[in-house]
Amino acid sequence: MTQQIAVIGGDARYLELIRQLQVLPELTIHLIGFDKLEQGFTGLHQTDFDDLDQGQLDAIILPITGTDQEGYVETVFSDKTIQLTEDWFSGLKDTSIVFTGISNSYLDAAAGRSNVELIPLLDRDDVAIYNSIPTAEGTIMKAIEHTDYTIHSSRVIVVGFGRVGTTVANKFAALGAKVSVCAKSIMDLARITELGHTAIPFHELHEHTGECDLLINTVPDRVVTKNEIQHLPPHGIIFDLASKPGGTDFDYAEHRGIKAILAKSLPGVVAPKTAGKILADVIKQFLIKRGENQ
């Protein structure tokens, strides 16, 4: 049985995602929000949102950003406004799957009330770990762009030792940086030491920022505060990789004259093809399994 899929909005990485999905058999793909795209996709259906019959859809793929709190979807390749109202969600089949990069309270509630499965892809360990590679490479790119000294021998502090922080720390260390990693748990601090980095307990972070060239935050909570920023040397730079609004007191950094950069969506910026394939590989697993069960 042919599955009906709608890709609603998305950025450059979604072009590769769409190409990857095209190889699946018995799949009809509707593209919404791609009307300004110069390159076309042979065999796919460019559809206006108002003409889309959501009651026939087996899966919906939303942008990495999902929706805002009013249901509006970001469309990079279209000037048209698309809003996924709660009424729109209620018209979906109970068996529909909604894929998004990240979710929010609006999207959670709309999907929950409509009894459809919502899958935030960036919450998955496999996606997050794969995505940490282009994120780390993008951070290295920005570090080279915004400094007048080498990464080699630079003093780098990575805040957070999760899926992104681990990869970032290892990649900078591989380039010869002197890497310290700030974490909370005793287990993480032990692992950081085992990997050859300097382990910093969270409550001691402010004691170490005085000797830091690059401060890289990966924690989506306000952890880089005035207490930490005030000790940074004048040439110090903060790269915040956490989801918007980040975990840095950007106002105080500006007051102190410290360059602080919210480096969001790096996989989509530095490696959209790789990032799109990562997303597509996971979505294809769901669609193949669904097709086998039909």
Structure tokens at 110: 């709309």
Q: Are strands 178-183 and 97-100 parallel, antiparallel or unpaired?
A: unpaired
Residue ranges of domains in the chain, CATH in brackets:
3-123+272-292 (3.40.50.720), 127-263 (3.40.50.720)
- Residue 228's nearest CA partner among 243, 245, 240 is 240
Structure tokens at 242: 């956490």
pLDDT tens, 60-104?
999 999 999 999 999 999 999 999 999 999 999 999 999 999 999
Which strands form 59-61's sheet, in the order they lie side by side? 45-46, 27-32, 3-8, 59-61, 97-100, 117-120
Q: pTM score, two decimals?
A: 0.88
- Residue 33's nearest CA partner among 14, 7, 52, 64 is 7
Q: SS3 of 148, please? A: coil
pLDDT tens, 21-51?
998 888 999 999 998 886 667 778 889 999 9
110, 131 contact by CB (below 8 A): no
DSSP H or E run through 12: none
pLDDT tens, 157-199?
999 999 999 999 999 999 999 999 999 999 999 999 999 999 9
